[in-house]
Structure 1
């Protein structure tokens, strides 16, 4: 099975890795904040992270690692499902095709229902949640997946929650430059309320810069 990657392809950044760490650590909170229907229908006591999947385009020699693959069950049942979350930090016009490739390969391997989710962290407006294959004489398939375009989210909608995933992702949401100071102040208020342990604080602080955030907190005391 081949995966086509259109150049130029940015390297996998430290920020991308931070997103993966955040969602893996706060998987339940992430779904609660951004995909409540998914959150309300899966059992978080049955979560099992699966090994990272790597697929290779044998023609071009490119490899691509699927970001987050988690097995769980539907709430109140023993039906196993897989939640696949793909992080995308740059605009890619055939991304919807890549999501379908991943879905197909995951299904071929695990033979279980899959909930596909794409998280866009770039500023561009491009956002597609469907891949269609059809001919003038035949509609073969329509593949749909859930999307989260963080730049389109209103950061003010999350400031009263005690959700660490939402707090961290506020740094990626749409806000005006003159609101940047207020966003950071609200983020720090959330951190104070949540009283996270040091390890989990490190992950959340990473989105705003730990040292910068601590210095800001000491200076302004969240007033």
Structure 2
């Protein structure tokens, strides 16, 4: 799960504004995004449980029209934990203890990412029969309960990246994939190469098509957008683009001497390596570190370090 977790956190960090706007529009109305900075990861200790954990993302921003700083704690959760709400309260109490003098508001947000995590507890309370002592309630997002069709008209990059994490049936796979590619097509001129690559990288972690299925989807998508064929090639997953465009051509040429089947396989492999090298080069030029590139592309760090990055 590590590459998934790191990619998800990178998505939230890069598109923090867009994430809040998409899933928490009421909170979005309150935030002044002109001041937004990522704080160092906090190491918080649960004294009772003798457990130390790092917060995933802690972001400082401001309230609109006020000189008041607030903290937003984003915590993705990919597995069932009956004590998760309690843990979020402990995080909140530690943050309040440390930051209450400078920050007027602390907003905890839990993001449940597994499809089978539904109706997760979001409250910690304590009361006497006649008196409420404590009621803590975090904001929460259960991606598996979101209807993907609600988001396909959006140009929000977070919607595109997480579309395949939302609730859909197997019969919807093809429609969801076509909708995702349409969203990328609309966004290609609105995002720089590095941000578009991040969206694609996260999306491809959550939707893994079978080769025949992806080729069929590619053909249908080109039929729908014939004038965009070259751009569509750029948006499809790397292995498919090169396997279809270059691998066939180079493989068949080598197949004259080595046999068609072997040649096609080698051509596809050459295409994959060439595109991988080009992608690494572009991501480096946009400021991604080798460690981040390895996480996002799901490659061993040594492959990144030795890559030919001429583009």
User: TM-score, structure 1 length as denominator?
Assistant: 0.86
> Larger C-alpha radius of gyration, 1 or 2?
2
CA distance in 1, matches of 2:96, 2:49: 24
Give the superposed CA RMSD: 2.2
Matched, 1:86 2:75: yes
Matched, 1:50 2:39: yes
CA distance in 1, matches of 2:142, 2:66: 31
CA distance in 1, matches of 2:154, 2:2: 29
C-alpha displacement at 1:54, in angstroms?
1.7
Aligned pairs for 1:1-223 (under 5 A) are 13-57=2-46, 62-111=51-100, 112=103, 113-122=105-114, 123-136=116-129, 138-195=131-188, 196-209=191-204, 219-221=219-221, 223=224
C-alpha displacement at 1:218, in angstroms?
5.1
Bigger RCO (CA 8 Å, 6+ sep): 1
Counterpart contact for 1:91–1:126, Cα < 8 Å: no
Secondary structure of the residue aligned to 2:6 is helix
C-alpha displacement at 1:134, in angstroms?
2.3
More helix by share: 2
The 1:99/1:59 distance shift into structure 2, 3 A limit, reads: closer
Counterpart contact for 2:117–2:142, Cα < 8 Å: no
C-alpha displacement at 1:172, in angstroms?
0.6
Counterpart contact for 1:31–1:38, Cα < 8 Å: yes
User: TM-score, structure 2 length as denominator?
Assistant: 0.63
Equivalent residues, number: 211
CA distance in 2, matches of 1:32, 1:60: 35
The 1:52/1:219 distance shift into structure 2, 3 A limit, reads: farther
Runs of 5+ unmatched residues, structure 2: 225-311
C-alpha displacement at 1:137, in angstroms?
6.0
